[in-house]
């Protein structure tokens, strides 16, 4: 009885990233927006939103739409041609989402990212804060790669990878990759003639990766990048689903246990994020805090500047710092929201005074609780 519920991570999820491939959003007959399809998807998104989910969309399609609009006839585009096409097509893409979703009173916002925006910690924090604020304001962020400035070195290159990075950055619990494939097919151990759609993958091991690579016909259309994206996301606690987007109601199809492949997450997004903070970086500074702040940390609250008595080290916004009591005991570690210079100026002050002290309004917290791991947990 419970199996269906267990197999349905959409119902369980609070925050969902949906990746939409170009072949879905563009009408293959005329190279323009597939209005009919987008209308149906928008009604499905509306259902998810009304069901209390937070939705982030990662949508491809800018280059394809721009290519048609600019009348570029070449089959394989040069980098500058793709960039020009993306610049033109992106506004058409966003306009289309806006048109469809405003019928449901859903607001959208455009976010264009490059690889280093999710890798470099200062940019990462800025991007994350923007997403957080948009979601708080009930706006759907619609993300694409910033193709206009993305040179080959700083490109994601594909939106499967981008969507996984966004899902990880935002601690989403579910990533849905909608494209033109039903899911991951295997020929089975005996390479039987009837390919077998895997319903569930508990671990993305070399055998699974191999299925993506050599699945004669059935796995084409970027299955390798999809499996890589699933690997990235699931290892950060985000359940991943690969499903065919061109079905009548693709999201409902997944919820009703229609064809798709489900990839089981390892742990939760929160535990993965804390592990990442705890293990992967070198602390570049120290914040010494008073007893009031120590109590706040014990109650899982953020660290405010008011509770910090002294700072040391040399750190920038987004760097890892240690948080200690006045007797030098390490209490926690976290990503700091201010540089060393600014932190020194605002410690001991109420958050409402930050603007007066620094001349700009930053975050209220010196280390936000989402970016903090106490030594006990
Ligand atoms: N950013 C590209 C576009 O919007 C798509 C990349 C992809 O489909 O993976 O056209």
Convert the pLDDT of each residue in 283-307 to its tens digit: 899 999 999 999 999 999 999 999 9
Question: Which residues, other chains included, contact 313 with Cβ-Cβ below 8 Å and sequence gap of 6+?
Answer: 283, 284, 285, 286, 321, 340
Question: What's residue 281's pLDDT?
Answer: 65
Q: Does residue 45 have its Cβ closer than 6 Å to ligand 1?
A: no
CA distance 145 to 122: 18
Lateral strand order in the sheet of 261-263: 107-113, 139-145, 54-59, 15-20, 174-179, 239-244, 261-263, 200-201
pTM across the whole model: 0.84
Looking from the CA of residue 145, the nearest atom of ligand 1 is: 1
Banded pLDDT at 10 (limits 50, 70, 90): very high
The highest-level CATH class for domain 9-268 is: alpha beta
Q: Which of 14, 16, 32, 34 has its CA nearest to residue 24?
A: 34
Q: Work out the burial of residue 360: count CB atoms within 10 Å of its CB; fewer than 13 is exposed, 13-18 middle, 19 or more buried.
A: exposed
Asked if residue 115 has pLDDT above 90, the reply is: no
Quick one: fold of 281-374?
2.30.130
* 322 DSSP β-pair partners: 286, 333
Distance 61 CA to ligand 1 centre (A): 6
Question: What's residue 280's pLDDT?
Answer: 60
Asked if residue 1 has pLDDT above 60, the reply is: no
Convert the pLDDT of each residue in 147-185 to its tens digit: 887 666 667 778 999 999 999 999 999 999 998 889 998
State the chain's mean pLDDT as an integer. 89
Convert the pLDDT of each residue in 187-235 to its tens digit: 644 455 667 899 999 999 998 988 887 543 333 348 889 999 999 999 9
Convert the pLDDT of each residue in 63-74 to its tens digit: 999 999 999 988
Banded pLDDT at 35 (limits 50, 70, 90): very high
Residues of the chain with CATH 2.30.130.10: 281-374
Radius of gyration, CA atoms only, the chain? 23
Q: Does residue 66 have its Cβ closer than 6 Å to ligand 1?
A: no
CA distance 87 to 304: 41
> Which two three-digit tokens encode residue 224?
């390798």
Residues of the chain with CATH 3.40.1160.10: 9-268
Looking from the CA of residue 225, the nearest atom of ligand 1 is: 9
Question: What's residue 190's pLDDT?
Answer: 44
Banded pLDDT at 330 (limits 50, 70, 90): very high
Start-to-end Cα distance in the chain: 34
Mean pLDDT of 339-349: 96
Q: Does residue 61 have its Cβ closer than 6 Å to ligand 1?
A: yes
If one compares 117 and 67, the residue with the highest pLDDT of the two is: 67
Question: What's residue 124's pLDDT?
Answer: 78
Q: Does residue 144 have its Cβ closer than 6 Å to ligand 1?
A: yes
> Which two three-digit tokens encode residue 41?
């998807």
């Amino acid at each position: 009885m419970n199996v269906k519920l267990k197999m349905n991570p959409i119902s369980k999820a609070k925050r969902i990233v949906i990746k939409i491939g170009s072949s879905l959003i563009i009408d293959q007959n005329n190279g323009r927006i597939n209005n009919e399809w987008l209308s149906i998807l928008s009604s499905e998104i509306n259902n998810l939103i009304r069901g209390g989910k937070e939705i982030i969309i990662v949508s491809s399609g800018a280059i394809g739409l721009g290519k048609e609009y600019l009348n570029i006839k070449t089959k394989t585009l040069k980098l500058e041609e793709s960039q020009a096409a993306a610049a033109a097509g992106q506004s058409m893409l966003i306009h289309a989402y806006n048109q469809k979703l405003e019928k449901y009173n859903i607001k959208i916002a455009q976010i264009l990212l490059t690889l280093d925006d999710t890798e470099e910690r200062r940019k990462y924090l800025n991007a994350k804060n923007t997403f957080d604020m948009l979601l708080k304001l009930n706006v759907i962020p619609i993300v694409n790669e910033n193709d206009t400035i993305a040179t080959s070195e700083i490109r994601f290159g594909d939106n499967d990878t981008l969507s996984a990075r966004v899902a990880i950055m935002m601690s989403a619990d579910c990533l849905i990759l909608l494209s033109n494939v039903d899911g991951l097919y295997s020929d089975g151990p005996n390479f039987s003639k009837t390919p077998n759609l895997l319903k569930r993958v508990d671990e993305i091991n070399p055998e699974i990766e191999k299925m993506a690579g050599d699945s004669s016909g059935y796995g084409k259309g970027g299955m390798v990048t999809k499996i890589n994206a699933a690997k990235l996301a699931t290892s950060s606690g985000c359940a991943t689903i690969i499903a065919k987007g061109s079905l009548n109601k693709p999201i409902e199809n997944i919820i009703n246990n229609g064809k798709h492949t489900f990839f089981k997450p390892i742990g939760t997004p929160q535990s993965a994020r804390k592990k990442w903070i705890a293990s992967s970086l070198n602390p570049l500074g120290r914040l010494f805090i008073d007893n009031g702040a120590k109590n706040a940390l014990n109650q899982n609250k953020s660290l405010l500047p008011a509770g910090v008595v002294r700072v040391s080290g040399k750190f920038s916004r987004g760097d890892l710092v240690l948080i200690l009591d006045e007797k030098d005991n390490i209490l926690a570690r976290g990503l700091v929201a201010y540089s060393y210079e600014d932190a020194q100026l605002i410690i001991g002050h109420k958050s409402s005074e930050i603007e007066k002290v620094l001349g700009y309004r930053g975050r209220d917290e010196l280390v936000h609780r989402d970016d903090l791991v106490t030594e006990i947990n």
